[in-house]
Amino acid sequence: MANQVIHTAINGQEHTHEVEPRMLLVHYIRDVVGLTGTHVGCETSLCGACTIMVDGQAVKSCTMLAVQADGAEIMTIEGLAQNGELHPIQEGFWECHGLQCGFCTPGMIIAAHQLLQRNPNPSEDEIRHGLDGNLCRCTGYQHIVDAVQYAAEKMQGSRERKEV
């Protein structure tokens, strides 16, 4: 099959590339666009290391072809901090020691981002269920749960401040 031209906006920046129709989205992001913060842990949609946001939905980018993302707005881990300021979820992971080797972390943070969008005040149980598609071999998850709770509180606080 002939190569196809795709247009994407990744972390607010426009990209146009010609890609092989069989190329996985995760490889497009890592190897063509050059954003290597998104990781590949299994290539079979089971580990979550490759999780990114596509049009507002958390997606395992090893399960999508690059051509399917034509016209999409994408956010990767590199796009989460704004103006040099960490996102509260990133801050939570740092404060609560939510990572060790860091390989699962970008996917875990993006999954947590989606979780908190849907449920700004999750219980511990809801956090654990919300992160069920993301594997971490290092932490035993407890500090990850703490990190998400930290972020939820912080985000709640800033929402309340805005409302005042």
Residues in contact with ligand FES by the rule CB under 6 A: 40-43, 45-50, 60, 62, 99-105, 136-139
* Size of the chain, expressed as the number of residues it contains: 164
How far, in Å, are 102, 111, 121 from residue 60 at the CA level?
17, 10, 24
**Looking at 11-163, which runs of residues are DSSP E strands?**
13-19, 51-54, 57-60, 73-75
β-sheet bridge partners, residue 54:
57, 74
Residue in 100, 95, 122 with CA at minimum distance from that of residue 111: 122
CB of 100 to ligand FES, least distance (A): 4
Q: Does 78 bind other proteins (CB under 8 A)?
A: yes
Choose between 103 and 155: whose C-beta lies nearer to ligand FES.
103
Which one of 53-61, 114-122, 129-137, 156-164 is the stretch in contact with other proteins (CB under 8 A)?
Answer: 129-137
Footprint of other proteins (CB under 8 A): 20, 22-23, 30, 34-44, 46-47, 49, 76-78, 80-81, 86, 90, 93-95, 97, 99-106, 109, 124, 127-129, 131-132, 134-145
